Amino acid sequence: MMPCIHCGACVPVCPKGLWPNQLYEALAQGDLARADALGLARCGACRACQDHCPSALPLTARFREGQGQVLRWTEAKARAAEDARQAGERYEAREARLQAAEAEALEAKRQRRAEAQRRAEARRPAKGGTDARRDAQRAALQRAMEKAQAEGREDDLARLTAALTALGDAS
Ligand code: SF4
Ligand code: SF4
């Protein structure tokens, strides 16, 4: 078997209009993408090119073998593209889940803060209410003092006076 001498005898005899010499070269170089682009899939393995080749190159057998290689290569490429697409989908779904979880956590935090604030407000006594309670205590003490004074209970009077003073200091 001689190398391709580039005589071009194989080109005009191809019923599919292919360039057998270029196809053979592409396959020899392992360039499946080029062989595919040159239309290797359309080769019908008719042997016309091989029969006219002065170098007796095994063109037909090589083209059949090449078709199988290109097919597997194309399938592998499609699988890789599908894997990449699925990986992209998984990434986007994960991002969406993370964003949703983050939004949920923020909302829960906001609600906890609002609840804490609401409880603090509920615990804080109103100023008017405190004043009214002290006024009532003061009035009660004064009534008790008047009674103690009328009944001559000096000890009670002294105690009630101290309590009234303390209440006045606290206000
Ligand atoms: S074997 Fe293929 S490349 Fe060769 S002549 Fe036939 S169809 Fe064309
Ligand atoms: S006929 Fe054979 S030697 Fe001539 S170009 Fe085609 S493959 Fe090459």
- Lowest mean pLDDT segment, chosen from 64-73, 131-140, 142-151: 131-140
At 123 the pLDDT is: 86
Residue 141 near residue 133, CB atoms below 8 Å = no
At 153 the pLDDT is: 87
- pLDDT tens column, 48-68: 999 999 999 999 999 999 999
Question: Is the pLDDT assigned to residue 16 strictly greater than 90?
Answer: yes
pTM: 0.61
Question: Is the pLDDT assigned to residue 131 strictly greater than 80?
Answer: no
At 129 the pLDDT is: 65
What CA–CA distance (Å, rounded) separates 23 from 35? 6
At 124 the pLDDT is: 78
Q: How remote is the CA of residue 26 from the centroid of ligand 1, in Å?
A: 15
* Annotated domain spans of the chain: 20-79, 126-170
CA distances from 8 to 44, 67, 82 (A): 19, 22, 41
For ligand 2, what atom is nearest to the CA of residue 5? Answer: 3
> What integer is the mean pLDDT of 105-117?
95
Q: How remote is the CA of residue 30 from the centroid of ligand 2, in Å?
A: 18
How does the average pLDDT of the chain come out, rounded?
A: 92
Q: Which ligand is nearest to the CA of 43?
A: 1
pLDDT band at 168 (very low <50, low <70, confident <90, very high): confident
18 lines ligand 2 (CB under 6 A): no
At 126 the pLDDT is: 63
